[in-house]
Amino acid sequence: TGLSDSMAPADIAELSRSGALAFRASFDGEMPPRSELYWRALTLERFDGRRWSQSSFAQLPVAPAWEKRGEPLRYSIVMQPSAKPWLFGLDVAQTPLEQTQQMSDFRLQRRQPVERSLLYQVTSWPDAVREPVANQAGLRRALQLPAQGDPRSRAWAAELKRQYPQDEALVQALLSHFNREPFGYTLRPPRLGLNSIDDFLFETRNGFCAHYAGAMTFVLRAAGIPARVVAGYQGGEFNPAGNYVQVRQFDAHAWVEYWQAGRGWVSVDPTFQVAPERIELGLEEALADEQSFLEDSPFSPLR
């Protein structure tokens, strides 16, 4: 169980019905605010009109260029068996763990899948600049879209580009759109048709983090801005007695990063615009009115 290397809109919603522990993180010093705990697992660059998945290039052990800025965070993670090779860390993460390396998309990856509990140390540089100079092949991958499909979203992206020729302004306009328009956050999103991005943006307007991350990445690409989906976990439950944070499967999350010359990859979270309580307080608070939260729990009235 846990995160997969591909994602359709409803997949992370399924994970969010499980309270199983993913990992535990203990910080050497003060823990960052919950809203800053974005635990990267992997990036999803390929889109086939329905699913986002890892590109084949992501498997090449090419370390990305980045510049350290600010002060580092130091912490240790005890990870539960996942049967997957990637580890979890806050950006930009480094670990001295043997047989583990930083891959081209800034994820940490083992040579072999994690089949038993694993303890590792991490140093993260949250203010680092990630790939400030263009990797042209990487940027081409981050602009890839299917040849056809979702015509309304493509037309809207072209209109946004005319209105906001500066990339930063377009990104902010898109975030404001999610905040201002009647979008909803739910574990029970309506079914989407063949043009899934169009259906979500213009018809159903109700979804989970993967809907928002996928739709925003699609529109940015259609507007000519390199972007990709990041899958991982967000937040966690702080245990003051042990000074650690427990991250469970229901903390699974997807967000977006887009590329700008000089600034490199910049992370944004469209879900925060729709359900800020999910990022600041956690999933249970964000879905207080929905019984589908933790259906797998032995304490759930829905079991």
Rounded CA gap, 10 and 293, in Å? 14
Catalytic site residue from 150, 198, 199, 269: 269
Q: Is 209 a catalytic residue?
A: yes
Considering just the CA atoms, what is the radius of gyration of the chain in Å?
19
Sequential DSSP letters for 23-50: EEEEESSPPPPGGG-EEEEEEE-EE-SS
With a CB cutoff of 8 Å and minimum separation 6, the contacts of 194 are 49, 149
Q: Is 127 a catalytic residue?
A: no
Element (H, E) at 161: helix 151-163
Rounded CA gap, 293 and 200, in Å? 22
Catalytic site residue from 150, 167, 209, 211: 209
Q: What angle do CA 72, 74, 77 make, to 5 degrees?
A: 140
Q: Is 199 a catalytic residue?
A: no
Report which DSSP code applies to 172: H
Catalytic site residue from 198, 199, 211, 253: 253
Rounded CA gap, 136 and 139, in Å? 5
Q: Are 145 and 45 in contact (CB under 8 A)?
A: no
**Residue 88 vs residues 22, 76, 120, 286: alpha-carbon distances, Å:** 10, 11, 10, 24
Q: Which residues are catalytic?
A: 209, 253, 269
